[in-house]
Amino acid sequence: MLIDRLDRYIARNVLGAMLVVQVMVLGLDLVISYINDLGDVSGGYTALDVLLYLIMRLPWRFYEYAPVAVLIGALVGLGGMASNNELTVMRASGRSLGRILLGVLKPLVLVILITMAIGEFVSPATEQHAEAWRLEQSEGSEAVLSHRGGWQREGDDFYRFGTIRADDTLINFTRYHFDGQRLVDATQAARAVWDGDAWTLEDVRITHFEEGATRAETLPSESWDTALTPAQLTRLLRPLDSQPITSLWRYADYLRAQGQEATQPLLYFWQKSLLPVTLAGLVLLAASFVFGPLRSVAAGTRIFYGVIVGLTFKYLQDLLAPASVLFGFSPSLAVVVPTAACYLLGFWLLRRTG
């Protein structure tokens, strides 16, 4: 019974610290992003719209900052117990270091389940909706459209898409139709709506390029005959870091089938797939710091070291990603190597502690 109470006490302290750190990081990021994005305010896209857009993206931010919250939260939670000599009392009463670590890892299971669920089911939908909503609010703003959307070729047609909403509606559609080397016509549509079997273009403007002249045509709607499905377009248009694990693997297969490099989708696939192992390694590293070199330092110093370790971990992954393309090794190593380094350093420090 005493052991269970100690486990619950450790879990409550660590989980509470992780939650506080996550809320603080999300709040700080929201303020900074809001100030930075105010420069995009124009036309129908107001300052309130900027705030609403950033709020829609909070699930993705939660997922992205989970490793930072876990690392710093574990440092703060365990560090506070170390500062109050609670960990020393536990060790003196016969509780082994392994049992304390087990008590730290128990709340991590809940964090992993919540984070993986958000990353797989919540943030992909909210990111898709947020980007489409922002594009609709700021439609006509070249500053926004210049870095959005994607291109696709199908036979003699070249497509340019703005974004796709969660209800399978394409926003800002452009098609360039060629006959050999000659541009025949350019079609623009405000939306392309999927009815379950086919696409329908709405608010259509067609420019026909004829011999020595052009002719404009406007239509309320027009059918779009294509083999592209909403699922394929979603994988094409959605940022890779916000796609679920299954979509990343399918997109990598699609790129390989086209003879293209699939390093980036595979990198994000392995990052998301191995996230539970990564979070456990960061908690182990935080615990090794508290029981070792950071046992008696101030809380601010622990947070500083946690930020340094977290940034080092992220930058190492970011450097290994392009290195996998340059040197031809698997993108999975870009995730496995930094994670393995966390485990090795953590076990080494804990072994020195005894």
- Total number of domains in the chain: 2
pTM assigned to the model: 0.81
**C-alpha to C-alpha distances, 284 to 37, 64, 70, 281, nearest whole angstrom:** 37, 20, 10, 5
Determine the pLDDT at residue 349. 83
Same domain, 7 and 129: yes
Asked if residues 152 and 189 have their Cβ atoms less than 8 Å apart, the reply is no
The single residue listed with the structure tokens 């299971």 is 109
Residue 100 lies in a domain: yes
Same domain, 174 and 112: no
Residue 221 lies in a domain: yes
Determine the pLDDT at residue 354. 58
Name 45's bridge partners.
Answer: 42
The H helix count followed by the E strand count for the chain is 13, 6
Q: Domain end: 193, 226, 259, which one?
A: 226
Name 158's bridge partners.
Answer: 153, 176
Residue 218 lies in a domain: yes
Same domain, 33 and 128: yes
Same domain, 100 and 12: yes
Same domain, 8 and 113: yes
Same domain, 14 and 123: yes
Determine the pLDDT at residue 298. 74
Determine the pLDDT at residue 141. 39
CB atoms within 10 A of CB 319: 11
The single residue listed with the structure tokens 């909210």 is 126
Determine the pLDDT at residue 352. 79
The span from the CA of 181 to the CA of 334, in Å, is 43
State the DSSP code for 239.
-
The span from the CA of 291 to the CA of 57, in Å, is 37
Residue 233 lies in a domain: no
In the numeric block, which tokens belong to residue 244?
A: 């679920």
Domain encompassing residue 337: 2-137+274-353
The single residue listed with the structure tokens 């109050």 is 84
Q: Which residues of the chain have pLDDT under 50?
A: 140-148
Instruction: Determine the residue type at 92.
Output: A
Determine the pLDDT at residue 294. 66
What digits encode the pLDDT tens for the residues 42-88? 877 899 999 999 999 999 999 999 998 999 999 889 888 988 889 88
**C-alpha to C-alpha distances, 25 to 22, 133, 289, nearest whole angstrom:** 5, 25, 22
The span from the CA of 80 to the CA of 87, in Å, is 9
Asked if residues 264 and 52 have their Cβ atoms less than 8 Å apart, the reply is no
Residue 255 lies in a domain: no
Phi first, then psi, for residue 248 (nearest 5°) are: -65, -40
Widest pairwise Cα distance in the chain:
92
Same domain, 163 and 193: yes
Residue 232 lies in a domain: no
The span from the CA of 101 to the CA of 103, in Å, is 5
Residue 71 lies in a domain: yes
Beta-strand pair 169-179/150-154: unpaired
In the numeric block, which tokens belong to residue 119?
A: 């990353």
Determine the pLDDT at residue 112. 96
Residue 231 lies in a domain: no
Same domain, 33 and 96: yes
